[in-house]
Structure 1
Amino acid sequence: MEVKITSENFEELKNGSLPLMVDFWATWCGPCRAIAPIIEELAKEYDGKLVVGKCDVEENDDIAMEYGIRNIPTILFIKNGEVADRFVGATTKAALKEKFDAFLG
């Protein structure tokens, strides 16, 4: 299941018991829309193993600025409140699945 990330829930999610993957995106971003179905599929596949969140950079520019998000889509992998990995740009499901698996170890 995907979670909408906002300034109100971000701290709680990033420090939660499950690792967090954050997809930084915007409605006008073509590559973001292209990988959205992939992220959705992976959210279902990894349900219970990690939290998959989507953060609209226009609505939550404070979070985007805090993490130095300059290009979208950018995906952050956060474990124990710290960024463990980052992926920038559109990609394939196989490449993202590889990142997910490596992140979860």
Structure 2
Amino acid sequence: MQKPILEEVEKKFKDQVEFKIIDVDQNRDLAKKYAIQAVPTLVIEKDGQVLKRFTGVTSADVLSSELQKAL
């Protein structure tokens, strides 16, 4: 459910934001680093610092708003 939302938001921010999708089963170190307890979890990071995180499906409007704040 989250993937189509991410694709929509990625189109809006394609030249401003780098999107990464991580398979936590294949990348356990990253899952541990970001303390991922549930899927989906979205993390907004800037300059190595976590600015915002969402657990569960996040709407395009909410995600877009938070990304805009982070820019």
Identity of aligned residues (%): 32
2:45 paired residue among 48, 72, 78: 78
| Structure 1 stretches lacking a partner, 5+ long | 1-33
Find 1:53's aligned residue among 5, 12, 20.
20
| Aligned-residue offset at 1:91 | 2.4
- Cα offset, 1:92, TM superposition: 1.7
| TM superposition score normalised by structure 1 | 0.63
1:42 aligns with 2:9: yes
| Paired residue total | 71
What do you get for the CA RMSD once the two structures are aligned? 1.1
Q: Which runs of 5+ in 2 are unaligned?
A: none
Structure richer in strand, relative to its length: 1
TM-score, structure 2 length as denominator? 0.89
Q: Moved runs in structure 1, 4+ residues, more than 3 A?
A: none
